[in-house]
Structure 1
Amino acid sequence: MTAPLAPRALLFDMDGTLVDSTAVVERTWRDFAERHGLDVADILAGSHGRRSGETIAQHLPSGADLAAETARVDAQEMRDLNGVVAVPGAAELLAGLPAGSWALVTSAGADLAARRMAAAGLPMPGVVVTAEDVRHGKPDPEGYRKAAAGLGVPPEATVVFEDAEAGIAAGRAAGARVVVVGSHGGAAAEGLARIPDFCHVRVAAEGTGLAVELDEERTARR
Structure 2
Amino acid sequence: MTRTSDRPTVEAFAAVLFDMDGTLVDSDAAVERSWRMWAREYGVDAEQVLAAMPGHPAADTVARMRPDLDPVAVEAAGRAQLEREYHDLEGVVATPGALVLVAELDRTGRPWAVVTSADARLAAIRLEAAGIRAPLVIDRDAVVAGKPDPEGYRLAAERLGVDPHDCLVVEDTPTGTAAGRAAGATVAGLKGGAGGAADFPLATLTDLISTP
Query: How high is the TM-score relative to the length of structure 2?
Result: 0.89
The C-alpha deviation readout for 1:14-39, integer Å capped at 9, x for no partner, is: 00100111101111110011011110
Aligned to 1:46: 52
Q: Which residue of 2 aligns with 1:76?
A: 84
Moved more, 67-76 or 11-20: 67-76
Q: What secondary structure does 2:206 align onto? A: coil
SS for the counterpart of 2:197 is: helix
Bigger proportion of residues as strand: 1
**Candidates 124, 148, 156, aligned match of 1:147:** 156
The answer as to 2:129 corresponding to 1:123 is no
RMSD: 1.9
For 2:119, the equivalent position in structure 1 comes to: 109
Following TM superposition, the consecutive aligned residue runs of length 4 or more in structure 1 with deviations greater than 3 angstroms are: 184-187
Aligned-partner Cα distance in 2 for 1:100–1:89: 17
Greater fraction of residues in helix: 2
Aligned position for 1:96: 104
Q: Does the Cα contact within 8 Å between 2:63 and 2:69 map onto a contact in 1?
A: no
Q: Which residue of 2 aligns with 1:24?
A: 30
Tell me the distance in 2 between the aligned counterparts of 1:121 and 1:132.
22
Assess if the C-alpha contact under 8 Å between 2:171 and 2:194 holds in 1: no
2: CA distance, partners of 1:198 / 1:63: 39
Q: 2:202 aligns with which of 195, 203, 211?
A: 195
Look up the match of 2:5: 2
Gaps of 5+ in 1: 203-212, 216-222
CA distance in 2, matches of 1:182, 1:70: 26
- Give the Cα–Cα distance (whole angstroms) in 2 for the partners of residues 173 and 40 of structure 1: 30
Compute the displacement of 1:2 (Å). Answer: 2.8
The aligned counterpart of 1:156 is 165
Distance 1:90 1:187 in 2: 21
Structure 1 range deviating more: 65-74 or 30-39? 65-74
Q: Distance in 2 between matches of 1:100 and 1:57?
A: 38
> In 2 relative to 1, CA 185–8 (structure 1 residues): closer, same or farther, beyond 3 Å?
closer
> C-alpha separation between the residues in 1 aligned to 2:131 and 2:110?
19
The letter for the 2-side match of 1:102 is: W
Name the % identity. Answer: 45
**Contact 2:27/2:93 (<8 A) preserved:** yes
What TM-score comes out, normalization by structure 1 length? 0.85
TM-superposed deviation, 1:193: 1.4
- Separation in 2, partners of 1:174, 1:61: 29
User: What code does the residue aligned with 1:201 have?
Assistant: L
